[in-house]
Amino acid sequence: MKNTQQTREITGAAALLEGLVAEETEVIFGYPGGAIMPIYDALYDFKDKLKHILVRHEQGGIHAGQGYARTSGKVGVVFATSGPGATNLITGLADAQIDSTPLVCITGQVFAHLLGTDAFQESDVINITAPVTKWNYQITDASEIPAVLAKAFYIAKSGRPGPVLIDITKNAQMQLFQYDGYTPCNHIRSYRPKPNIRKEYIEKAAQLINQAKKPFVLFGQGVLLGKAEKEFQQFIEKSGIPAAWTILGAGAIPTNHPQNVGMLGMHGNYGPNVLTNECDVLIAIGMRFDDRVTGRLDKYAKQAKVIHLDIDPAEIDKNVKTEVPVWGDCKETLPLLTALVDKKTHSEWLQKFNEYTKQEHEAVIDHELNPKGEELTMGEVLHQLNILSKGDAILVSDVGQHQMIACRYGKFNNTRSNITSGGLGTMGFGLPAAIGAKFGAMDKTVVAIIGDGGFQMTLQELGTIMQNDIDVKIIILNNRFLGMVRQWQELFNQKRYSFVDIESPDYVKLAQAYRIESKRVDQRNELIPALTQMMNHKGSFLLEIMVTKENNVFPMVPQGCSVSEIRLK
C-alpha cells in the first residue's frame, strides 16, 4: 500500500532512507566512503529512525547483516562505498547467495558521467557481483530509487531468499526529484517466487510414504526460511518418520525431539549416514543435496524412492534423481501432505537409528564429551556450555573443526539458533555474524564459537563490539593449528603438516585493549567456573580455551566415499 503524502522535492539519498524506514529496517551495518557520502550525510538526519552500526571492515558488515537476517528472519541491510568498499562485500554476497540469506546491499558509485573511465575508486560492481546476487541494479537517476529499493526488498525476501545489491551513482544520491512516497513491492511481472502446488504430486508422495517400511526425512534450512517449523513437526509426529538435519536445518525441531536422529553429512552422525542407504523412501524437505551431505552421488540412496519438497524448482533433480517432486513453499505443502499420510510410529526402524547412536556414543561421543586425557577437548567445552545455557543460547560458529563440533554437540531447543556459514564455508564469518545475530535477537544469549585461525581473519570487529557495547560472548577454541586442514593432512597426506601451524596473539590482552572482559583457560578444573563467569557477565566477554592440538572430528565420510562408508575412527 502506498504511503500517502504530498509530493515534495528531496534528494535521492533521502528517498533511499525514507524507503528503508518504510521497510521497517531496524539496523544498518556499514562503512562510509567518498562515493556513498551523500547517503551518510542524509543519514545524519535519520538518527532517530534508523540505527547504523559502524563496522571495521566491509566484510564484517555483510557478515553482520547475514547474522541479523538469520536470527531475525528479516532482510539484512548493508552500506558500502565504491571500489574496494564494494569488492570487500563479495565474499559475504557469495556466502549469502549459497545459504539463501536475504540481504539488501547499497553501494555508492562514482558520478554517472565517469562510469567506464577508470575513475578513482571505480569498479564494475554490477558485473562483478552478478554471479553472487539474486538480483542487482545500478541507479543513475534519483527518480528510480523508491521503485528499485522496493523491488530489491521483495526479491531478497520472497521465494528462495537471497542477496540483492543496488549500486547508486553519486549524482543520483545528490539529485533532487519530485518524491511522492514509497510503495512496497509485492509483484513483479515474469518473477514467480513460489511455484504452483501440484496436488497430484502431494497425493503421490503421500501414497509412497504410507506404503514405506523404512521412510526417512532429511530436512534443511528451507523449513526455517519458510517459517514452517510447526508444520514440519506436525508432519513427522503424525507420520512417525525419523528425521535428520543439515547444519543449516538445525533447530527446526528441538535437538532432544524423539524423532530427531541427528546430523547428516561428512561429520554427521553415524546412523543417519549409514541408514540413508537402507531407507526405502527418502523425503527431502528444504535441502539441496549438497555434496557434503551425499558423498558419492553414484552410491547415494540408490535403493530409495526420493520425494523432494522445495520452493526452488532448479533444485529438483539437480543432484539426486527424484521420484516425486513437490514444488512449493513447505509451509503450504507440508499441511497438505500431513493431511494425507497415515498415523504411524515406525518404532522398529527408529530403534535401528538408536542402535547406531549407541555405537557412536561408545566409539566417539563419550570420549569427546568426557575425555580421560589431561588436555581439554572441544566437545567437552560444548557439553558444559549446553548445561549452562540449557540449549537456549544462539550459537554462532566460524568454519573448521570447531564448527563441526558446535553443530554436532550444540543443543538447539529453538529455531534460528545455529548460525554458521554452510555452503561457502567462510572463515572469518563467526565474529561479525555474532554481532548481527545479537541485533536480530536482543533477548537471547549469543555465543560465538571460533577457532584461532578464523578469529584472526576478522578480529578487528572487536572494535565494533567495543564502540557499540554489544553483549556477545566469544569462545576461542585454540588448538594452535588450522585444525580441519591439519586433520585432512594427517589422514590423507601422511601427516605432512604443510603450513597449518598458526601462532596467535595474546587474546586476553587483545580483548583488554578493546575494553572487553577476558580470560584464558587451559586446565579442566578452570573450565566450568570460567564458562559460568562468561555466561553471567553483563556485556561482552572473550574466553580463550586451550584445547588439545591433534584432536580429530569423527565420524567422518572420507572424500570420494559413500555415506555408508562413514568412519568412526
- For 449-513, the DSSP string reads EEEHHHHHHHGGGHHHHHHHT---EEEEEE-SB-HHHHHHHHHHSTT---S-B-----HHHHHHH
Average pLDDT, the chain: 97
Q: Residue 5: pLDDT band by 50, 70, 90 thresholds?
A: low
Q: With a cut of 70, say whether residue 161 has pLDDT above it.
A: yes
In tens, the pLDDT along 230-255 reads 999 999 999 999 999 999 999 999 99
Q: With a cut of 70, say whether residue 211 has pLDDT above it.
A: yes
State how far the Cα of 183 lies from the Cα of 150, in Å rounded to an integer: 7
The percent of residues above 90 in pLDDT, for the chain, comes to 98
79 assigned to active site:
no
Closest CA to 523 of 542, 553, 551, 548: 548
Q: Residue 3: pLDDT band by 50, 70, 90 thresholds?
A: low
Q: Where do the domains of the chain lie?
A: 8-179, 199-353, 376-546
- The single residue listed with the C-alpha cell 531496524 is 26
Assigned fold of 8-179: Rossmann fold (3.40.50)
442 assigned to active site:
no
Q: Residue 6: pLDDT band by 50, 70, 90 thresholds?
A: confident
Q: With a cut of 90, say whether residue 425 has pLDDT above it.
A: yes
| pTM of the shown model | 0.97
Q: Residue 54: pLDDT band by 50, 70, 90 thresholds?
A: very high
Give the CATH architecture of domain 376-546: 3-Layer(aba) Sandwich (3.40)
121, 234, 359, 467: the active-site residue: 121
State how far the Cα of 359 lies from the Cα of 431, in Å rounded to an integer: 35
Mean pLDDT confidence for 31-41: 98
Closest CA to 20 of 72, 75, 69: 75
State how far the Cα of 161 lies from the Cα of 222, in Å rounded to an integer: 10
State how far the Cα of 406 lies from the Cα of 382, in Å rounded to an integer: 7
58 assigned to active site:
yes
In tens, the pLDDT along 459-503 reads 999 999 999 999 999 999 999 999 999 999 999 999 999 999 999
Answer yes or no: are the C-beta atoms of 253 and 243 closer than 8 Å: yes
Mean pLDDT confidence for 360-367: 96
Q: Residue 2: pLDDT band by 50, 70, 90 thresholds?
A: low
Q: Residue 4: pLDDT band by 50, 70, 90 thresholds?
A: low
In tens, the pLDDT along 433-454 reads 999 999 999 999 999 999 999 9
Q: Residue 559: pLDDT band by 50, 70, 90 thresholds?
A: confident
- Residues ≥6 apart with Cβ < 8 Å to 298: none
Q: Residue 330: pLDDT band by 50, 70, 90 thresholds?
A: very high
484 assigned to active site:
yes
CATH superfamily of 199-353: TPP-binding domain (3.40.50.1220)
5, 120, 211, 523: the active-site residue: 120
In tens, the pLDDT along 125-145 reads 999 999 999 999 999 999 999
58, 231, 368, 544: the active-site residue: 58
484, 487, 541, 554: the active-site residue: 484
541 assigned to active site:
no
In tens, the pLDDT along 510-525 reads 999 999 999 999 999 9
- The single residue listed with the C-alpha cell 562503512 is 31
In tens, the pLDDT along 397-411 reads 999 999 999 999 999
Q: With a cut of 70, say whether residue 101 has pLDDT above it.
A: yes
